[in-house]
Chain A
Amino acid sequence: MNVRALMAHRFAGLTVVSAIVIVLPFFFPSAYYYRLAGLVLIFGLAAVGLNLLMGFAGQVSLGHAGFLGIGGYSVAIGATYLAAPPWLCILGGAALSGLVAFCVGRPILRLKGHYLAVATLGFGVLVTIVLTNEATWTGGPDGMTVPRLMLFAWPVHGADAWYWIAAITFLIGGTLALNLGDSPTGRALKAIQDSEVASSMLGIDVSYQKLVIFVISAVFVSIAGSYLALFNGHITPDISGFLRSIELVTIVVLGGMGSIVGSLLGATILVVLPQTLTVLHEYEDMAFGLILMGFMILLRQGIVPSLMGWFAGRRS
């Protein structure tokens, strides 16, 4: 058993994460920690989705929180107005997000670089505006209550239940993402990142591949949004706002583009750090900004790639 070979295996990171996820609850003194961990896993899931788009396909999206909103409000509206069971709404929301991603992605993905970024920004803003203004359906800026999730007539209650649900979903999602990375689609995306012209010469249907990954990433984010809504029991339109999209991008970049474990680390920082900074009171924002800048200057490829590079450098 060559340890180095094991560590190099693509599922090494995820296996370590699984182990941590199983062991960690023994150290949780209260439900508060379950809640934080649950949020980390939910945002981690969304970040994995966005990472597929940004890390694997190299496309920037500043509006992905729009899918958080679609997923979240599907659960809220479906359960309140259509009397649909929440688990069905989660799936429905994912399907809706995929459809929206397909319709929006086809024209938008022709744009490159910052132009794509601003187009996705526009998408996110539009989703927020619709959610805020269509108050008869969405409850407007105050948001709406989300009924509890029922799994086989058992109400899902408490942060600890959500921790496990989010953990399992994250691990499944992470596995799917890693598999995607090594699939023909994943390799095609790597090629597209290097050079779109060259890949199309090799017979890769560039726009199709980009669209596929856009839709898949939207589905990931949508499910995370549904979970968030059910976890909180309440949803407001700023779940799909610009600031939320920036949070997702920050998590992905911080953790390292293309790294699933990195996305989880990024989510940990973004969820836990503000909690620890509360001691600073009004200096909280300043500290957070400084820490973010510090991370990006010192670990400029993101945490995981920079550390891996550092280790690789040490070895040689």
Chain B
Amino acid sequence: MAEFLQFLSSGLTVGSVYALVALGFTLIYNASNVINFAQGEFVMLGGMSTVFLALAGVPLPIAALIAVIVTTAIGLALYRFAIEPARDASAVSLIMITIGASIFLRGLAQVVFDKRFHSLPMIFGAEPLRIGGAAVLPQSLVVLGGATTIVLLLWAFIDRTILGKAVIATAVNRLAARLVGIDTRRIIGLSFAISAAIGAVAGVLVTPITLTSYDVGTLLAVKAFAAAMLGGIGSALGAVVGGLVLGMLEAFSAGYISSKYKDAVAFIVLLAVLLAMPRGLLGRGKIERV
């Protein structure tokens, strides 16, 4: 039982990161039909900026805040200068632009930061808590709590505010949204900004556990993309569920099956799920107009 809980805690921690990045994917995809492969870079920028600001002497909470703000600005810039000018391009071209952006951001990080890996201090110390025989780091709880808070805040925003409704309207039908007076460009820009912010916060929260370096973004983007599809792209809840499920698949297959093939198991399960449920776990069916 103790080891089950241990694997569970590991899976949920890693899964929360995937969930947050997948959430960012979904947000942007919903608003603009773009799969943003630079999403992982937002996490990297959040973590690395905080590290370097802290090294320069800025107190940690301020450093984190500045890092999130800077990353949000970068997300907005990405939209404004790269995506928006090419808004009528095909889906594949847009994906290629985001791939170019991720390469650019990675190159930027190499030059501005460095190529080593870094950590941040754990908020509540490194002493693990004993829960049911498992050793759980307090930071894991912080990550889980942070992820839950973000999801709740996002839900409240989408469901309870006019601006949130506008986001939904843009996602459902961009033309109709413009016809009722919604400035869809602002809305899409907003979704990029929110995704970047979420990614940055995830980066700050998780760096004490996972460490960070200039190239953590790539693998993270791939896994989070898989998680978003697993949950069903277009569904925010699906993204979160997909991320957590992927994290847990990795932890449980490493623990119970074979650590050599844990990534393989995760992807095999992903393929199996997609074949059985072609829209993902929680994806909505699309009615195809003929």
Contact residues in B for A129 (Cβ distance below 8 Å): 261, 263-264
Would B89 and A285 count as touching, CB distance under 8 A?
no
B interface footprint on A283-297 (CB within 8 Å = 1, 0 otherwise): 111111111110011
Complexed CA–CA distance, A300 and B95 (Å): 11
A246 within 8 A of B: yes
CB within 8 Å of A: which of B195-252? 218, 222, 225-226, 229, 233
A293 and B226 contacting across the interface, CB-CB below 8 Å: no
A296 touches B270 (CB 8 A): no
A242 touches which of B96, B104, B222, B260 (Cβ 8 Å):
B222
A123 and B106 CA atoms in complex are apart in Å by 26
B residues in contact with A243, CB < 8 Å = 218
Closest to B286 in A: A112
Interface pair B263/A257, CB less than 8 Å apart:
no
B100 lies within 8 A of A293 (CB): yes
Instruction: Indicate if the CB atoms of A285 and B107 lie closer than 8 Å.
Output: yes
Cβ contact within 8 Å between A119 and B271: yes
Cβ–Cβ < 8 Å partners of B218 in chain A:
243
The SS class assigned to the A binding surface is helix
With A115-B229, A115-B280, A121-B222 given, is the CB distance from A296 to B274 under 8 Å? no
**A218 close to B (CB within 8 Å):** no
Is the Cβ of B267 less than 8 Å from the Cβ of A122? yes
Those of B98-142 within 8 Å (CB) of chain A: 99-108, 110-111
Measured CB to CB, the nearest residue on chain A to B104 is A289
Known: A125-B267, A129-B263, A289-B102. A282 touches B110 (CB 8 A): yes
Bound CA span A54–B96, Å: 14
A75 to B239, CA, bound (A): 41
A209 at the interface (CB under 8 A from B): no
Which residues of A in the span 288-310 have a Cβ within 8 Å of any Cβ on B? 288-293, 296-297, 300-302
Give the complex CA separation of A111 and B111 in angstroms. 41
Contact yes or no, A118 B225, CB < 8 A: yes
Give Cα A197 to B111, complex, Å: 51
Distance in angstroms from A276 CB to nearest chain B CB is 16
Assess whether B27 is interfacial by the CB under 8 Å rule. Answer: no
Cβ-defined contact, B270 with A118, below 8 A: yes
Question: Measured between alpha carbons, how far is A194 from B226 in the docked complex, in Å?
Answer: 27
Given contacts A285-B110, A289-B105, A290-B104, contact A195 B290 (CB under 8 A): yes
Nearest-neighbor residue (CB-CB) of B222 within chain A: A242
Q: CB of B53 within 8 A of chain A? A: no
> Whole-angstrom distance between the alpha carbons of A101 and B222 in the complex?
22
Q: Which residue of B is nearest A292, CB measured?
A: B100
Closest to A286 in B: B107
Q: Mark A43-66, 1 if CB is under 8 A from B, else 0.
A: 000000000001000001000000
> Is the CB of B62 closer than 8 A to any CB of chain A?
no
Known A-B contacts A114-B35, A195-B290, A289-B104; A301 and B90 likewise in contact (beta carbons under 8 Å): yes
Q: How big is the A interface, by class?
A: 35 or more
Cβ contact within 8 Å between B92 and A54: yes
Q: How far is the CA of A195 from the CA of B103 in the complex (A)?
A: 34
Q: Mark A245-260, 1 if CB is under 8 A from B, else 0.
A: 0100110011001000
Cross-chain contact A257 with B226 (CB below 8 angstroms): no
Find chain B residues with CB under 8 A from A119 CB. 270-271, 274-275
* Complex contact B111–A283 (CB within 8 A): yes
Which residues of chain A are within 8 angstroms of B99 by Cβ–Cβ distance?
Answer: 246, 250, 292
Contact B275 A293 (CB under 8 A): no
Contacts of B260 in A (CB 8 A): 133
Residue of B whose beta carbon sits closest to that of A201: B290
Q: Is A36 close to B, CB under 8 A?
A: no
Shortest Cβ distance from residue B85 to the other chain A in the assembled complex, whole angstroms: 5
Specify the chain A residue showing the minimal Cβ separation from B269: A122
Quick check: is A126 within 8 A (CB to CB) of the other chain? yes
Asked if A187 CB lies within 8 Å of chain B CBs, one says no
Instruction: Indicate the member of A110, A129, A302 with the most B CB atoms within 10 Å.
Output: A129
List residues of chain A with CB within 8 A of the CB of B103: 285, 288-289, 292
Chain A residues in 8 Å Cβ range of B82: 293, 297
Cβ B100 vs Cβ A296 within 8 A: yes
Interface string of A188-203 (1 = CB under 8 A from B): 0000000101100000
Tell me if A107 counts as interface (CB < 8 A to partner B): yes
> Does B97 contact A111, Cβ atoms closer than 8 Å?
no
CB-based nearest B residue for A299: B93
Q: Does B268 contact A (CB under 8 A)?
A: yes
Residues of B within 8 A of A302 (CB): 93
Considering residues A107, A125, A282, A296, which has the most beta carbons from chain B within 10 angstroms of its beta carbon?
A296
- Let me know if B89 and A296 touch, CB within 8 A: yes
A282–B105 contact, CB under 8 A? no
* B278–A297 CB distance below 8 A: no
Q: Can you report 19 A-B residue pairs in the complex whose CB atoms are below 8 A from each other?
A: A110-B278, A111-B274, A113-B91, A114-B229, A119-B271, A119-B275, A125-B267, A249-B92, A249-B96, A283-B107, A285-B106, A285-B107, A285-B110, A293-B82, A293-B101, A297-B89, A301-B89, A301-B90, A301-B93
Q: Which residues of B contact A (CB under 8 A)?
A: 35, 82, 85-86, 88-93, 96-97, 99-108, 110-111, 218, 222, 225-226, 229, 233, 260-261, 263-264, 267-268, 270-271, 274-275, 278-280, 288, 290
List 13 other contacts, CB 8 Å, given A114-B229, A115-B280, A297-B85. Answer: A108-B275, A111-B278, A114-B35, A118-B226, A125-B222, A195-B290, A197-B288, A197-B290, A250-B96, A253-B96, A289-B107, A292-B96, A301-B93
Binding site for B on A (CB under 8 A): 54, 60, 107-108, 110-115, 118-119, 121-123, 125-126, 129-130, 133, 195, 197-198, 242-243, 246, 249-250, 253-254, 257, 282-293, 296-297, 300-302
